């Protein structure tokens, strides 16, 4: 009989593989969706992300309503709103992923395609995430970010329905309304429907998020050793994967580690099938430096904000955590600033462009 940790790892492997294929073959990329929207007025990738959020929200809340998954055991539904972490961490993560050219999830997709730069980013991101969770930069996080959290009244959590005081019926109405609005916006003009890869990847990623909650909350649940339920996110799990590799005998598998391996495997399989696998490296030291700084910002910022574009934008959103939209707005602003910097090469003009001022 398989142990709960082995089941969790296997489920993470499967869910991650779906995202790996979606990222490589389905062109599902969160930085690209922002870049397309900011500079190309092309919202198809953003609509694919919205469709994924709609599917994830509807399916996850159905699991919670049926009593299959207890979402209160997740890291997102806390008794306080980490506004400082969401805003500062989100900005750092957004700038970092613009410097790298992708997020934590996209880094794993690149690793699967043979990108040696992504291996460096993976290592720096994972180690900086570990340091922020348990090491030296963790002290900075506790001293600077934790005091900026907004404490909620006794018995409340940061779910939208809890803050609104909504009962089960109102919760269901709210979930359906939000999911329907997102799906309508994504599909109404037909552009996403005419992009079958983006359409399929949006549906698949949303389903994978809900499956993550189901896997950790029911399939791999251990009543003798209860653990937090979780779904897909790609900051802390990169650090956990490095720690597991380094301390094999003193660590155990989990869903996050499985998802990291799954994304790489799925991306690799898709690249090989499309004959798109090729080794790539940095052009010069300047590019390597930019990637390493970006990875450092993503690792620290992602832990401060409790997630990345996938972790907050989809997994946290599917729980109705109010931190999700706050973090995503901060990440989008940081990404815009970082993208402007990559085009101008200077921070001050990038800040001026971000706020619409003349240079």
- Residues 166-196 as b or e (16 or more Cβ within 10 Å = b): beeeebeebbeebbeebbebbbeeeebeebe
**Is residue 358 in a domain?**
no
**Is residue 67 in a domain?**
yes
The structure's pTM equals 0.93
pLDDT in tens, 93-141: 999 999 999 999 999 999 999 999 999 999 999 999 999 998 888 887 8
Neighbours of 308 (CB within 10 A): 34
Range of the domain at 18: 4-351
**Is residue 328 in a domain?**
yes
Please, which residues have CB within 8 angstroms of residue 10's CB and are 6 or more apart in sequence? 2, 258
Number of domains in the chain: 1
pLDDT in tens, 168-227: 888 899 999 999 999 999 999 999 999 999 999 999 999 999 999 999 999 998 877 777
Are the beta carbons of 205 and 73 closer than 8 angstroms? no
User: Is residue 159 helix, strand or coil?
Assistant: strand
**Is residue 327 in a domain?**
yes
**Is residue 357 in a domain?**
no
**Is residue 359 in a domain?**
no
**Is residue 25 in a domain?**
yes
């Amino acid at each position: 009989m398989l142990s709960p940790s082995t089941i969790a790892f296997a489920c993470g492997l499967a869910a991650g593989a779906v995202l790996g294929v979606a990222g490589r073959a389905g062109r599902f990329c969160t930085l690209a969706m922002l870049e397309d929207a900011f500079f190309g007025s092309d919202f198809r990738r953003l609509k694919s992300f919205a469709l994924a959020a709609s599917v994830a929200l509807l399916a996850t809340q159905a699991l919670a309503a049926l009593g299959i998954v207890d979402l209160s055991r997740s890291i997102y539904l806390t008794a306080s709103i980490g506004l400082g972490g969401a805003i500062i961490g989100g900005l750092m993560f957004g700038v970092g992923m613009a410097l790298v050219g992708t997020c934590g999830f996209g880094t794993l997709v690149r690793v699967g395609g043979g990108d040696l730069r992504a291996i460096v980013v993976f290592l720096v991101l994972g180690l900086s995430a570990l340091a922020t969770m348990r090491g030296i930069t963790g002290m900075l996080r506790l001293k600077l970010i934790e005091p900026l959290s907004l404490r909620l009244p006794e018995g409340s959590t940061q779910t939208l329905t809890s803050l609104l005081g909504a009962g089960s019926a109102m919760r269901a109405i709210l979930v359906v309304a939000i999911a329907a609005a997102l799906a309508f916006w994504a599909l109404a003009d037909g552009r996403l429907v005419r992009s079958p890869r983006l359409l399929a990847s949006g549906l698949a990623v949303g389903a994978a998020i809900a499956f993550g909650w189901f896997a950790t909350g029911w399939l791999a649940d251990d009543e003798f050793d209860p653990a937090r339920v979780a779904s897909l996110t790609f900051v802390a799990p990169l650090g956990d994967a490095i720690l597991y590799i380094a301390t094999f005998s003193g660590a155990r598998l989990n869903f996050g580690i499985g998802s990291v391996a799954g994304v790489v495997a799925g991306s690799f399989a898709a690249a090989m099938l499309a004959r798109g696998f090729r080794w790539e490296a940095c052009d010069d030291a300047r590019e390597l430096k930019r990637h390493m700084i970006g990875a450092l910002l993503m690792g620290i910022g992602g832990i401060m904000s409790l997630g990345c574009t996938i972790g907050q934008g989809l997994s946290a959103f599917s729980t109705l955590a109010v931190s999700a939209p706050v973090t995503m707005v901060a990440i989008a602003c940081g990404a815009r600033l970082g993208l402007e910097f990559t085009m101008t090469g200077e921070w001050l003009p990038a800040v001026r462009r971000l706020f619409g001022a003349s240079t």
